[in-house]
């Protein structure tokens, strides 16, 4: 069945904005994108669904999140923790303590709630970190696409292998929902070089993409250069790890540590990428890694800003992620975009930020053949939003960025179905 979805504006992302535009879809694919009048005349049999003074654009892609932690603020309050600002190391210790105290049923509900929240915020794909591997069936019930990255950390290869065996037998045999799989070696301060290279080899054998938290804080750099600082003094005792078990050679940056120990394959996701030198950024470009920016989460631990201009100059694909509800106030990528727009003034134009939030994320998660721009042949995946005021065509991109946290998401089509009207 042909449908003509129309609105005041269509923003294909890969082409200029169309006023009085329309997207022609069959059951699951985009057939044409253009002016409403032209497409209506050429396709008289199509049913028209008009959204009026609204904007049709690709769905948001939340390229880094931890949806199983969606209910974390409630758990932390119930455990007697406040929401006051805290150091990164103290936050990690608290997070692990609070999460480990939750029964599996609560973590499942929390993931389910996270999946619902991102859909309502106009998100079509996620890069979700899964720590509690045996709740993976929750993903079967969502329309979201993207990639589930199974988290691995520590220095104990026996424990890491147990998780890899589980991933092979449960998740690889029957991938959850509409998602691809990947591995998330957690971070340079939670992995020995031996563990990292073991995980990278395993991922190559199974052709699984990787995502790693990298260069998130200055404490991470301090730890890698001398095994000292708050990570060694607070996180290690809480995890019952010994610094001596992490006997890697000192590295003066997180990217250098990575390159010294195991080069991640092209297409890997570097999440955060805040504390990197220009030389590190050139290495990220040389290895063709994507970078997922999480500016709200970074600000939770002080005023650290990723070098977005340098990333752009180096030609690195950028995506946006909300990170988890343990460090941000919402799972809406529109809220993240609003923050990025204000947090990095003048670094990128509004169209570039919208590209990062949609097409950049789709590329990072390997779903860019079906999502991330409005073009014939892609999946019928798009959102319909209403900004507080309808601007002129030339001002639309800036209005969407400037008012991104006031956007009303009216509809979200995934595979030709309006998911928000179904729910």
Binding site for Zn ion (CB under 5 A): 323
Q: Give least dist CB 213 to Zn ion, A.
A: 5
Q: Give least dist CB 99 to Zn ion, A.
A: 13
**CA–CA dist 293, 291 (Å, integer):** 6
Q: Give least dist CB 304 to Zn ion, A.
A: 15
Give the residue from 82, 61, 56, 12 showing the smallest Cα distance to 366. Answer: 61
CB of 190 or CB of 261, closer to Zn ion: 190
Chain centre distance of CA 270: 11
Q: Which residue of the chain is nearest Zn ion when measured via CB?
A: 323
CB of 97 or CB of 313, closer to Zn ion: 97
Q: Give least dist CB 189 to Zn ion, A.
A: 13
H helix or E strand, kind and range, residue 227: none
Is 9 within 8 Å of 17 (Cβ atoms)? yes
CB of 323 or CB of 355, closer to Zn ion: 323
Q: Give least dist CB 151 to Zn ion, A.
A: 9
CB of 323 or CB of 336, closer to Zn ion: 323
**CA–CA dist 292, 375 (Å, integer):** 24
The residue count of the chain comes to: 423
Is 145 within 8 Å of 367 (Cβ atoms)? yes
CB of 68 or CB of 323, closer to Zn ion: 323
**CA–CA dist 323, 2 (Å, integer):** 38
Sequence-distant (≥ 6) Cβ neighbours of residue 293 within 8 angstroms: 272, 273, 306, 308, 318, 319, 320, 321, 340, 356
**CA–CA dist 387, 9 (Å, integer):** 11
CB of 255 or CB of 328, closer to Zn ion: 328
H helix or E strand, kind and range, residue 167: none
DSSP 63-109: EEE-GGGTTHHHHHHHTT-------HHHHHHHHHHHHHTS-HHHHHH
Q: Give least dist CB 297 to Zn ion, A.
A: 7
Q: Tokens standing for 136?
A: 């993976």
**CA–CA dist 101, 237 (Å, integer):** 18
Is 62 within 8 Å of 46 (Cβ atoms)? no
Q: Give least dist CB 21 to Zn ion, A.
A: 36
Q: Give least dist CB 349 to Zn ion, A.
A: 27
CB of 192 or CB of 217, closer to Zn ion: 217
């Amino acid at each position: 069945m042909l449908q003509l979805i129309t609105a005041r504006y269509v923003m294909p992302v890969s082409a200029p904005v169309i006023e009085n535009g329309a997207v022609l879809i069959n059951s699951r694919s985009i057939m044409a994108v253009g002016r409403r009048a032209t497409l209506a005349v050429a396709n008289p049999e199509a049913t028209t669904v008009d959204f009026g003074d609204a904007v049709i654009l690709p769905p948001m892609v939340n390229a880094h999140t931890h949806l199983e932690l969606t209910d974390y603020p409630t758990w932390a309050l119930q455990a007697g923790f406040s929401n006051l600002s805290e150091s990164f190391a103290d936050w990690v210790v608290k997070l692990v303590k609070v999460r480990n105290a939750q029964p599996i049923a609560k973590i499942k509900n929390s993931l389910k709630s996270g999946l619902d929240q991102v859909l309502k915020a106009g998100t079509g794909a996620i890069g979700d970190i899964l720590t509690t591997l045996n709740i993976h069936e929750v993903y079967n019930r969502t329309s979201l696409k993207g990639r589930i990255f199974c988290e691995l950390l520590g220095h104990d290869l026996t424990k890491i292998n147990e998780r890899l065996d589980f991933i092979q037998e449960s998740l690889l045999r029957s991938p959850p929902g509409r998602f691809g799989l990947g591995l998330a070696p957690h971070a340079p301060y939670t992995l020995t070089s031996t563990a990292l290279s073991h995980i990278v080899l395993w991922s190559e054998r199974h052709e699984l993409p990787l995502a790693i938290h990298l260069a998130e804080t200055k404490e991470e750099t301090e730890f890698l250069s001398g095994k000292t600082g708050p990570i060694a003094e607070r996180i290690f005792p809480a995890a019952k790890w010994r610094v001596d078990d992490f006997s890697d050679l000192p590295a003066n940056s997180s990217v250098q540590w990575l390159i010294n120990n195991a080069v991640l394959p092209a297409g890997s996701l570097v999440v955060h990428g805040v504390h990197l030198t220009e030389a590190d950024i050139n290495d990220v470009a040389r290895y063709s890694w994507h970078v997922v920016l999480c500016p709200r989460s970074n600000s939770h631990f002080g005023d650290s800003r990723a070098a977005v201009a340098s990333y752009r100059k180096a030609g690195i694909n950028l995506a946006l992620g909300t990170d988890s509800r343990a460090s941000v106030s919402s799972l809406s990528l529109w809220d993240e975009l609003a923050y990025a727009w204000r947090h990095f003034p003048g670094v990128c134009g509004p169209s570039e930020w919208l590209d990062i939030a949609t097409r950049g994320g789709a590329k990072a998660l390997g779903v860019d053949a079906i999502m991330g721009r409005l073009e014939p042949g892609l999946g019928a995946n798009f959102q319909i939003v209403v900004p507080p005021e309808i601007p002129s065509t030339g001002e639309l991109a800036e209005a969407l960025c400037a008012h991104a946290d006031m956007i009303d998401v009216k509809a979200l089509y995934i595979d030709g179905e309006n998911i928000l009207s179904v729910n």
